[in-house]
Each structure stands twice: as structure tokens, then as C-alpha cells.
Amino acid sequence: MFGGEVPARCDVAIIGAGFAGVATGAALAARGIEAILLERAAELGAFASGRGAGLGRQLAEDDVTAALAVRGAGLLRTHHPGAWSPTGGILTFDEPAHGRAYIARAARLGVAHEVLDRAGVLQRWPDLVGLRIASALYVPGDGVIDIRALLHALAAPLRIAFDTAVELVEPAGPGVRIATARGVIEARVVVDASGAWAGALTGDPGLDVYRRHLYVLEAAAQAGAPYLWHLGREEMYVRREGDGILVSPCDSTPTEPGEQPCDETGDLTLHDRLATAQRLLRAPITRRWACQRAFTPDRTMRLGIDPRRPWLVWAAALGGHGATCSLAVGETVADAVVRALG
Ligand SMILES: Cc1cc2nc3c(=O)[nH]c(=O)nc-3n(C[C@H](O)[C@H](O)[C@H](O)COP(=O)(O)OP(=O)(O)OC[C@H]3O[C@@H](n4cnc5c(N)ncnc54)[C@H](O)[C@@H]3O)c2cc1C
């Protein structure tokens, strides 16, 4: 971390110090390359990376993202065991075919899993008796990520300039000129890891950004309960959070990048999702917040060297799995930066 003017020159500048930025910085450091991170906010985790639910779910919605999540979870277990709780995870479905698609994905990616019946699910989460459960999977290798601990561990050895908004990025010779609120930097390569803002500085199409709410309820979960993510029409997830329960009603409202205030959509959707879970519905809400998830139109992450601009590398569109995939994203992007440096 440093104050004052940014340096006039560097090999690699990374815009954004969320999971995409700090994981890339850490993976570059492991390859002997020091990057400078430029972060507009005054602290780590001001946006998605500090405000997620921390579910370490490996079986994402498509094979490419799931493969990154499997790799990311493996790296987390090995290199950051203090930020990973091996709780396991339950995925439930209200369409049998949907459940079968996830079982097939688990088999393709070699993810250990057990098929659960409805009773097996309710044994762990008895409050959720109203869930439509046509099929369910238990994934023992899933877990819960301490997102704050992970962000800080990754960021600790890095050079991060906070309060440093990047205002302009333009090609300069074989490299790139980056104008910031605290001076101009010439770099050989810039990494766009600016989360929901990715593309804004380079004139590229913006991402699709959606607001989602999270709640902490004053209600005890069973000791050792795995997280549960219902992947049905009435999507929702729950996990233990200290003495309480963290819930997301999985609302997804199109929005613009920025601060995401809580709105009534979150409360209404929560009420709807918990309609048959009377104990949870009545439990006091001790915290509520909202934040943004950012996607490309086809929902694949935007990672790697830009095809038209060799000085630009993407670490963007981490969507709803950016914490789980963070270390795999960092490795992938760092390899691309090494290639871009030549
Ligand atoms: C409600 C919610 C729940 C989630 N739950 C999970 C989950 O359970 N499991 C999981 O794996 N993932 C989850 N995610 C997804 C995960 O949090 C994101 O995929 C990940 O944090 C995205 O990281 P990022 O670095 O791309 O973006 P961000 O964390 O948003 O970081 C981007 C950074 O770039 C900075 N920036 C932007 N523009 C500029 C500029 N011009 N100059 C300087 N800095 C700039 C911003 O200030 C910001 O700090 C969740 C997300 C949300 C919102």
C-alpha cells in the first residue's frame, strides 16, 4: 500500500482492487512481476468483493465457469485454508432434468457429490420444508469463504494506491498511458479489473449489471449445516453466519454500476421466498445490504489479452462466482500478462 503520487512508469498496472485485481496481483507476484494496483475507493472490498455471500460453490451454471470454480476452490483449500470453511454445499432443484444436468456436470468435472432425497435436505435445513425439491445434490468439497480475510491476505504484499481513480487509458507507443487522480503512469500492460465498470475506460461495451440483496437473520442454523442453494424458479440460498443465518432471495434487478441501495424488491422477494419458512420469516433482520454482480451477455468471464490491443488484459465479468474463482482467475490472467509482456 502506498500514498502520494503514483510512479511515472511500471510494467503492469491493474485497475481495481477487488478479487479480480488482487488475485491477479498476487499471481503476478508469484511469477516475480510486481504490479501497481489503482483503486478508486478508500479501502478494499468497497464493492462486490467485500459484499458477497462467500459461498464456495463449484458447480456453477456452465462448464467453463464451473471448471474455474473447481480450480479456484482447490487453490483456496491449499493456499488459504484459514479463509475456507469446509462446510460442503447442497444444491436443490425443482425440475428433475435440471438436477440431472448438474449431476452430469459434476461427473464431467470430477466433482465428488452425493444425490440427496428431500428428507436428506430437510434434515439439514428443516425450516425449508416449503421448497419444491425434485432433486438435490450434496457436494462435500464445497465450502464457505471468509471474503474479508481472503481479500486482505491477497492484498497484504501488494502495492495498492487507494483513492486513485483511473480517468483515462490510451495507447502510448507499444504500451499504455494511464491518467489517474494522482498522476499519470506509463505501463507496458494494463489489466482492466474494474468490476461492474469494466470496459468504461477503453470504450468497450459495458457489462450487464444486476443488484442483489443479502440478509442476516437472527435465527440459529444447525451446527455444521452445509450451505443450501435452491436453483429452482424461486432461487434462494442460505448459510450459517455466526449465530445467525445469511439469506439471499436471489433477486436480480438490472442496474447501473455504483453504490446499490437496498430497495423494496429485496424485502418483497425475501418475504416471498421464506413464505413457508415461518421461523425464518419471523426472525429479526440484523443486517441487510445490496450489491452488484456484473456479467457479459453470454455470462462467460472476460479474461485474457484483448484481441485488438496487446497492451490490454481483461480480468472482468466475474458474475456471481468471483470469490470462488478468484485464485483461478488470478492465475489465468497473470499467465496472459506474462504473454503480453513478451
Ligand atoms: C450480493 C452478492 C453475492 C455474491 N455471492 C457470491 C458467492 O456466494 N460466491 C462467489 O464466489 N461470489 C459471489 N459473488 C460474486 C463476487 O462477489 C464477484 O464476482 C467478485 O467480487 C467480483 O470481483 P471484481 O474484482 O471483478 O469486482 P469488484 O469487487 O467490484 O472490484 C472492482 C473494483 O474496481 C474499482 N474501480 C472501478 N472503476 C475504477 C476506476 N476507474 N479507477 C480505479 N478503480 C476502479 C472499484 O472501486 C472496485 O473496488 C457475489 C456478489 C454479490 C454482489
Q: What is the DSSP string of 177-224?
A: EEEETTEEEEEEEEEE--GGGTTTTTTPPPPEEEEEEEEEES-PPPTT
**Which residue CA neighbors atom 21 of ligand 1 most closely?**
49
How far is the C-alpha of 75 from the C-alpha of 314, rounded, in Å?
Answer: 21
The number of beta carbons lying within 10 Å of the beta carbon of residue 166 is 24
Looking only at the bridges linking them, the beta strands covering 35-38 and 159-161 are: parallel
Q: Say how many Å lie between the CA of residue 190 and the centre of ligand 1.
A: 18
Site to substitute for ligand 1 among 47, 235, 250, most atoms within 8 A of C-beta: 47
Angle at 71 between CA 40 and CA 19, to 5 degrees: 10
**Which residue CA neighbors atom 33 of ligand 1 most closely?**
16
* Whether residue 318 has its Cβ less than 6 Å from ligand 1: yes
* Whether residue 60 has its Cβ less than 6 Å from ligand 1: no
Q: What is the position in ligand 1's atom list of the atom closest to the CA of 316?
A: 26
Is the distance from CB of 94 to CB of 121 less than 8 angstroms? no
Question: How many residues belong to the chain?
Answer: 342
Q: Per the structure block, which three cell numbers stand in for 267?
A: 424485502
**Which residue CA neighbors atom 26 of ligand 1 most closely?**
195
Give the pLDDT score at 3.
61
* Whether residue 185 has its Cβ less than 6 Å from ligand 1: no
**Which residue CA neighbors atom 35 of ligand 1 most closely?**
16
Q: Say how many Å lie between the CA of residue 136 and the centre of ligand 1.
A: 29
**Which residue CA neighbors atom 15 of ligand 1 most closely?**
320
Q: What is the position in ligand 1's atom list of the atom closest to the CA of 41?
A: 47
Q: Say how many Å lie between the CA of residue 304 and the centre of ligand 1.
A: 18
Give the pLDDT score at 2.
63
pLDDT by 10s per residue, the chain, length 342 = 666 678 999 999 999 999 999 999 999 999 999 999 999 999 999 999 999 999 999 999 999 999 999 999 999 999 999 999 999 999 999 999 999 999 999 999 999 999 999 999 999 999 999 999 999 999 999 999 999 999 999 999 999 999 999 999 999 999 999 999 999 999 999 999 999 999 999 999 999 999 999 999 999 999 999 999 999 999 999 999 999 999 999 999 999 999 999 999 999 999 999 999 999 999 999 999 999 999 999 999 999 999 999 999 999 999 999 999 999 999 999 999 999 999
Looking only at the bridges linking them, the beta strands covering 244-248 and 312-316 are: unpaired
The number of beta carbons lying within 10 Å of the beta carbon of residue 4 is 8
* Whether residue 305 has its Cβ less than 6 Å from ligand 1: no
Q: What is the position in ligand 1's atom list of the atom closest to the CA of 290?
A: 1
Q: Where are the beta strands (DSSP E) in the chain?
A: 9-15, 35-38, 55-56, 84-85, 89-93, 114-116, 135-139, 143-145, 159-161, 166-172, 175-180, 183-192, 208-217, 227-230, 236-241, 244-248, 253-254, 285-295, 302-305, 312-316
Q: Say how many Å lie between the CA of residue 149 and the centre of ligand 1.
A: 15
Burial 116-141 (b: 16+ CB within 10 A, else e): beeeebbebbebbeebebebbbbbeb
User: For 232, how many CA atoms within 13 A lie in the half-sphere containing its CB?
Assistant: 17
The number of beta carbons lying within 10 Å of the beta carbon of residue 176 is 21
Q: Say how many Å lie between the CA of residue 18 and the centre of ligand 1.
A: 5
**Which residue CA neighbors atom 51 of ligand 1 most closely?**
52
Q: What is the position in ligand 1's atom list of the atom closest to the CA of 293?
A: 53
Give the pLDDT score at 339.
98
Q: Which domains does the chain have, with CATH numbers?
A: 1-86+142-207+296-342 (3.50.50.60), 89-140+208-294 (3.30.9.10)
Q: Say how many Å lie between the CA of residue 298 and the centre of ligand 1.
A: 18
Q: What is the position in ligand 1's atom list of the atom closest to the CA of 321?
A: 11
How far is the C-alpha of 80 from the C-alpha of 153, rounded, in Å?
Answer: 8
* Whether residue 37 has its Cβ less than 6 Å from ligand 1: no
Looking only at the bridges linking them, the beta strands covering 175-180 and 183-192 are: antiparallel
